[in-house]
């Protein structure tokens, strides 16, 4: 049997990308749900061994405009309580934070766009998911909001030089990353086209950033594929019925 992972996609321009590919390569079966397109979300995680929550352009507190965000947070809370391995990416990372009592706000320093250094914290050496990938690393970031306050009991795994949260363990089996391990040039190109005019007004050259991502693709894939494989390993370890 392969572990069954529920993957929540929030909009078509933010697919699972490389992460979906890597999870399958590691032996997982993905149950992809697109609630924005009418897919139902399960009320419980009883038929799933893991949960992955992807990114999106909406905010983690925009439940009124995007009705499925509340149920996603309910699933995160269930996962934390039941020890179901969960991985949030960008918006998913922020949803995990809010679901478990943290705070997400617009970054006072403005939008983060770039292939940026990951600032690992000392605690990462004892984390079962992040420790194996905690050497010098860069990651693709594209976000305007940040986790301003971690939930009680959460552990900071990585932060920027200015102290913005890059990664955290929100509960013993719930992790989040602010960066985009799933996104190569094909995905970033769509975001650049979509954000071009607004970025120009902010003085951000998103196409220069796109070029940096394309140039860094081999490095990014080599760095973050083991993180996806490690997540599947955590899912297997948490589900005794799996071989």
| All domains of the chain in start order, with CATH | 4-238 (3.40.50.880)
Q: How many CB atoms lie within 10 A of CB 186?
A: 13
Which is it for the CA torsion 94, 95, 96, 101, positive or negative? positive
- Token pair listed for 128: 């079962």
Q: What is the pLDDT of residue 135?
A: 95
Cite the beta strand spans of 23-130 per DSSP E: 29-33, 50-53, 86-89, 103-106, 112-117
pLDDT at 202 over 90: no
Quick check: pTM over 0.85? Answer: yes
Task: Render pLDDT for 154-201 as a digit per residue (tens, 0 to 9).
Answer: 999 999 999 999 999 999 999 999 999 999 999 999 998 887 766 666
Block residue for tokens 């004892």: 126
C-alpha to C-alpha distance for 213 and 190, rounded to whole angstroms = 13
Tell whether the model's pLDDT for residue 243 goes beyond 70: no
């Amino acid at each position: 049997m392969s572990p069954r992972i529920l993957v929540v996609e929030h909009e078509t321009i933010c697919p699972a990308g490389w992460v979906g590919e890597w999870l399958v390569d590691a032996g997982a079966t993905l149950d992809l749900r697109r609630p924005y397109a009418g897919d139902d979300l399960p009320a419980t995680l009883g038929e799933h061994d893991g949960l992955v929550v992807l990114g999106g352009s909406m905010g983690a507190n925009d439940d009124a405009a995007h009705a499925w965000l509340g149920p996603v947070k309910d699933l995160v809370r269930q996962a934390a309580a039941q020890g179901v391995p969960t991985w949030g990416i960008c918006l998913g990372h922020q949803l995990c934070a809010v679901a478990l009592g943290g705070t997400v706000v617009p970054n006072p320093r403005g939008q983060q766009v770039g292939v940026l250094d990951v600032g690992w914290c000392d605690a990462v050496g004892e984390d079962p998911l992040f420790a194996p990938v905690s050497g010098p690393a860069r990651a693709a970031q594209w976000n305007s909001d940040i986790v301003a306050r971690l939930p009680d009991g959460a552990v900071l795994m990585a932060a920027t030089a200015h102290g913005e949260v890059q990664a955290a363990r929100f509960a013993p089996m719930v992790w989040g990353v602010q960066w985009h391990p799933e996104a190569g040039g094909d995905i970033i190109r769509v975001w650049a086209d979509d954000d071009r005019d607004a970025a120009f007004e902010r003085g951000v050259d998103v196409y220069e950033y796109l070029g940096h991502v394309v140039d860094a693709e081999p490095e990014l894939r080599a760095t973050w594929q083991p993180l996806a494989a490690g997540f599947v390993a955590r899912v297997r370890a948490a589900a005794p019925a799996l071989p």
